[in-house]
Amino acid sequence: MSNMIDQLNGVFPSVCSLDCPDQCGLLLHKQDGKIVKIEGDPSHPITQGAICNKVRNMTARIYDEQRLKYPLKRVGPKGEGSRFERISWEEAVSTITANWQRLIAEEGSESILPYSFYGNMGRIGTEGMDRRFFNRMGASRLLYTICQSAGTEGYAYTMGGSYGIDPEDTVDAKLIIMWGINAVSTNMHQVVLAEKARKNGAQIVVIDVHKNQTGRWADWFIPILPGTDGALALGIMHILFAEQIVDEAFLSQYTVGHEELRQHVRQYEPAVVSAITGVPVEDIYRLARLYGQTTPSFIRIGNGPQHHDNGGMTVRTIACLPALTGQWLHHGGGAIKGNGGFLDINTAALQRPDLLAKPTREINMIQLGSALLELDPPIRSLYVYNSNPAVVAPEANKVREGLQREDLFTVVHDLFLTETAMYADIVLPATSSYENTDLYKSYWHHYVQIQQPVIAPYEESKANTEVFRLLAQAMGYEEQALKDSDEEMIRQSLNYPRNPYLEGISLEGLQETQFAKAKITPLMASPLKTPSGKIELISEQMEKLGYPPLPTYTSLIDDGDYPFLFVPAPNHNFLNSTFSNNEKHVRMEKAPKLHMNASDAAALGLASGDMARVWNARGECELIVSAGEDVLPGVVVSQGLWADAPGRKALVNALTPDRVADMGGGATFFSGRVQVEKV
Ligand SMILES: Nc1nc2c(c(=O)[nH]1)N[C@H]1C(S)=C(S)[C@@H](COP(=O)(O)OP(=O)(O)OC[C@H]3O[C@@H](n4cnc5c(=O)[nH]c(N)nc54)[C@H](O)[C@@H]3O)O[C@H]1N2
Ligand SMILES: Nc1nc2c(c(=O)[nH]1)N[C@H]1C(S)=C(S)[C@@H](COP(=O)(O)OP(=O)(O)OC[C@H]3O[C@@H](n4cnc5c(=O)[nH]c(N)nc54)[C@H](O)[C@@H]3O)O[C@H]1N2
Ligand code: SF4
Ligand SMILES: [Mo]
């Protein structure tokens, strides 16, 4: 399969690079050197030939007329409607490095900030040459908090790290709870596996603030008020202990703190929990008994409960549930929040933190706006790649005000002239993942995969690793680590004896087989990575850090005197802001909507189809009302991160808070309050 680029026709294996748990195996069909069709790889055990609509239509994005072809420099004012001129790579690189050298001499290397996320999940392109480069430079360091950090920390207090069950085992579950995950849109192969379980008699419960496509697919949909899931989980525990439907043998052998927890959850009586969550008392009983009496039961914990002020503790709390009924010992029972821990690679070898001479300041990526506007000493240069912060980051108006600063030298490396790129001084064209070599590891299933280039770089575009090698050379950085090839970096990452699950997985092997499953052993067969080695229902570690040691419900932070909680969630046809600028995907998604309860809409004189202005002190946007019974009164839900477009004012992140969640520096996208009125 070496040199697939030169083969003008044929079908070639690939992997989906998007930030999606499914990380599908793909087959790319080429005709005359171009990709003409993308389908799921039937031989991939998870994908089994089926992929989402977004990626089936990905060729429209790869060959979109708007794709960046060569480097650009800005010639108009910063921001919306800016203008750019073509320049050479030489000029782009020398402009960037001349600015950086001057800044480093005058203000120090911490005046430079890299900003990135997982627009492409390839490890060496997102956590490889880039990290080496900025470590060597001594730039300010970004905290990668925008997605799952609060819940990941919370889950780890209970379970010791990102370890759940093998999703392939969930076909054997008899009860599946999708908890705050819109899996039909965001984790479609978990839905496929759940469908198989359902054919064998499993029931599917969905707990969500919005009866979206996933709620409609459920056997039982439980609507809940945003940010109250921790209380519901504690109410379930209350009933499980009170009715003695717990597995005492499991609790004694595999957990610490079950006696303390038993006492502690007495306060979470169903009536109390019902008043907090909006879930009727009889439904809390029904859910607790169903959960207590069904084995194996599986909980898929999504990002919904986590993008709140109390997100870390909420996930930590839900993660305690499977232990109460001993689910972790039953094939198909347990939970998945994330499974990244099993596929840990050698990040020290990949990222080379040793190249950082001394620790530099850390900047939370969800507070980019205030970082740009308020930090002292200031950030003078921003280098953005794999991310579109002008759309995806909270407090978008602050972000854009910061990007507008005339004394900020901004570089954006992307496939498109994104909203963020409109503020750049220099724009660099990026290759698509199908043009690159990279290593992929899922955060849900247990497969490691490889991408080898299938098509030549589009016009003058370059991969992230290539750009950082060029920048390193121009900066005069001599370290071999900044010259390593993509293949060398993959080898270094996989060479990690500390993770026995990866044993036998190598670059050469992946080049042969395209994907390989890690050698996973049952979770309870060896001590967990918690301080006690057991499931920690009580956590001394948390107590030391100032958290309640037992799972505890705390309410959302007061976000001002606005009547509605606003949940701006992802949508079906985009992936975060990716695809929101591609005509085909926008057409499939139609228009940005605001789902609200019919009673709330009526009180405001709004009907479905009306344009509503949604606002708070942070900003405003306009969305089309969809009134009905899909959300509870007092809650409004939007879907999708929409690109800027003429006549559309759908920047939902103009309204979201940049408050930091209780754990992990995490984002609180869903804890904001808003007012709604007719336009
Ligand atoms: N099609 C598509 N797929 C995607 C993405 C995309 O944008 N589009 N994004 C990808 C990324 S980066 C991620 S992190 C994942 C995220 O995917 P998910 O884990 O599904 O997370 P979200 O879509 O953010 O939210 C899931 C659900 O939580 C609900 N929710 C919000 N607040 C609460 C709450 O307090 N309690 C409960 N119970 N539910 C709540 C929302 O209504 C939504 O239905 O999906 C990935 N896959
Ligand atoms: N309101 C609200 N906001 C949210 C969320 C939400 O649920 N609600 N979800 C949050 C979550 S979970 C996440 S993960 C973030 C995601 O935020 P981002 O990571 O910023 O995700 P995208 O919007 O997909 O932007 C990725 C960008 O990377 C570019 N890109 C793709 N491949 C490459 C490459 O190889 N090289 C370079 N240089 N660029 C590339 C794409 O073209 C795209 O412009 O958004 C967060 N924002
Ligand atoms: S976005 Fe997700 S479901 Fe779609 S092809 Fe990629 S990995 Fe598969
Ligand atoms: Mo995410």
DSSP 438-459: EEEE-SSSSEEEEE---SPPST
- φ/ψ of residue 299, rounded to 5: -115, 125
The percent of the chain in helix, strand and coil, each rounded to the nearest 5, is 35, 20, 45
Is a pLDDT exceeding 80 seen at residue 1? Answer: no
Element (H, E) at 350: helix 347-351
**CA–CA gap between residue 122 and residue 238 (Å, rounded):** 43
* C-beta neighbour count of 375 within 10 angstroms: 17
375 CA distance to ligand 2 centroid (A)? 24
Is a pLDDT exceeding 90 seen at residue 52? Answer: yes
Q: Is the minimum distance from the CB of 670 to ligand 1 under 6 angstroms?
A: yes
> Of 176, 213, 180, whose CA–CA distance to 197 is shortest?
176
Cβ contact 60:53 at 8 Å: no
**Ligand 2 atom with minimal separation from the 432 CA:** 35
Instruction: Kindly state the average pLDDT of the residues 17-45.
Output: 98
**CA–CA gap between residue 474 and residue 375 (Å, rounded):** 28
Q: Is the minimum distance from the CB of 54 to ligand 3 under 6 angstroms?
A: yes
Element (H, E) at 134: helix 129-137
Element (H, E) at 510: helix 507-513
Is a pLDDT exceeding 80 seen at residue 131? Answer: yes
Residue 80 has a pLDDT of 84
Is a pLDDT exceeding 80 seen at residue 55? Answer: yes
* Residue whose CA lies nearest to ligand 3 atom number 7: 23
570 CA distance to ligand 4 centroid (A)? 9
DSSP string, 280-328: -HHHHHHHHHHHHH-SSEEEEE-STTTSSTTHHHHHHHHTTHHHHTTGG
**Ligand 3 atom with minimal separation from the 54 CA:** 4
Is a pLDDT exceeding 60 seen at residue 239? Answer: yes
Q: Which amino acid is at 479?
A: E
DSSP 591: S
Q: Which of 23, 55, 56, 576 to mutate to test the pocket of ligand 3 (most atoms within 8 A of CB)?
A: 55
468 CA distance to ligand 2 centroid (A)? 20
Phi-psi category of 352—alpha, beta or left, where left has phi over 0 and alpha has psi -120 to 50?
left
Handedness of CA 623, 625, 631, 634 (dihedral sign): positive
3-7, 214-218, 252-256, range with the lowest pLDDT: 3-7
Domains of the chain: 10-62 (3.30.200.210), 72-147+362-517 (3.40.50.740), 165-337+526-544 (3.40.228.10), 564-678 (2.40.40.20)
Average pLDDT, the chain: 98
Taking the CA of 226 as reference, the closest ligand is 1
Q: Which amino acid is at 155?
A: Y
**CA–CA gap between residue 480 and residue 132 (Å, rounded):** 11
DSSP string, 195-246: HHHHHTT-EEEEEESS--HHHHHSSEEEE--TT-HHHHHHHHHHHHHHTT-S
* Residue whose CA lies nearest to ligand 2 atom number 28: 386
Distance of CA 501 to the CA centre of its chain: 24
**CA–CA gap between residue 347 and residue 360 (Å, rounded):** 19
Residue 234 has a pLDDT of 98
Tokens of 669: 């996208």
Q: What percent of the chain has pLDDT over 90?
A: 99
Question: pLDDT band for position 167 (50/70/90)?
Answer: very high
257 CA distance to ligand 1 centroid (A)? 31
Q: Which amino acid is at 619?
A: G
Strand order in 447-451's β-sheet? 438-441, 447-451, 515-517
Question: pLDDT band for position 435 (50/70/90)?
Answer: very high
CA dihedral 463, 464, 466, 471 (to 10 degrees): 140
528 CA distance to ligand 2 centroid (A)? 32
Cα–Cα distances (Å) from 342 to 337, 518, 524, 660, in that order, read: 13, 8, 14, 28
Is a pLDDT exceeding 80 seen at residue 125? Answer: yes
**CA–CA gap between residue 187 and residue 336 (Å, rounded):** 12
Three-state DSSP at 154 gives helix
Residue that has been written with the tokens 């998945």 in this structure = 336
Task: List CB contacts of 646: < 8 A, sequence separation 6 or more.
Answer: none
Instruction: Kindly state the average pLDDT of the residues 552-565.
Output: 98
Per residue in 385-425, pLDDT tens?
999 999 999 999 999 999 999 999 999 999 999 999 999 99
Q: What percent of the chain has pLDDT over 70?
A: 100
Distance of CA 284 to the CA centre of its chain: 30
187 CA distance to ligand 2 centroid (A)? 17
Taking the CA of 575 as reference, the closest ligand is 1
Taking the CA of 585 as reference, the closest ligand is 1
DSSP string, 395-449: SHHHHHHHHT-TT-EEEEEESS--TTGGG-SEEEEBPPGGGS-EEEE-SSSSEEE
* Residue whose CA lies nearest to ligand 2 atom number 39: 386
678 CA distance to ligand 4 centroid (A)? 32
Handedness of CA 456, 462, 464, 469 (dihedral sign): positive
**CA–CA gap between residue 168 and residue 322 (Å, rounded):** 18
Element (H, E) at 127: helix 123-127
641 CA distance to ligand 2 centroid (A)? 10
Is a pLDDT exceeding 70 seen at residue 2? Answer: no
Taking the CA of 22 as reference, the closest ligand is 3
Q: Which of 14, 52, 118, 184 to mutate to test the pocket of ligand 3 (most atoms within 8 A of CB)?
A: 52
Question: pLDDT band for position 81 (50/70/90)?
Answer: confident
Handedness of CA 645, 651, 654, 657 (dihedral sign): negative
Handedness of CA 283, 285, 289, 291 (dihedral sign): positive
Ligand 2 contacts (CB < 6 A) are 19, 117-120, 125, 146-147, 303, 385-388, 392, 413-416, 418, 430, 433, 464, 568-570, 575-578, 641, 652-653, 656, 669
**CA–CA gap between residue 433 and residue 454 (Å, rounded):** 9
* Residue whose CA lies nearest to ligand 1 atom number 4: 186
Is a pLDDT exceeding 70 seen at residue 621? Answer: yes
Cβ contact 121:445 at 8 Å: no
Per residue in 356-390, pLDDT tens?
999 999 999 999 999 999 999 999 999 999 999 99
**CA–CA gap between residue 427 and residue 539 (Å, rounded):** 48
CA atoms within 13 A on the CB side of 166: 20
Instruction: Kindly state the average pLDDT of the residues 115-128.
Output: 98
* Residue whose CA lies nearest to ligand 2 atom number 18: 387
Three-state DSSP at 471 gives helix
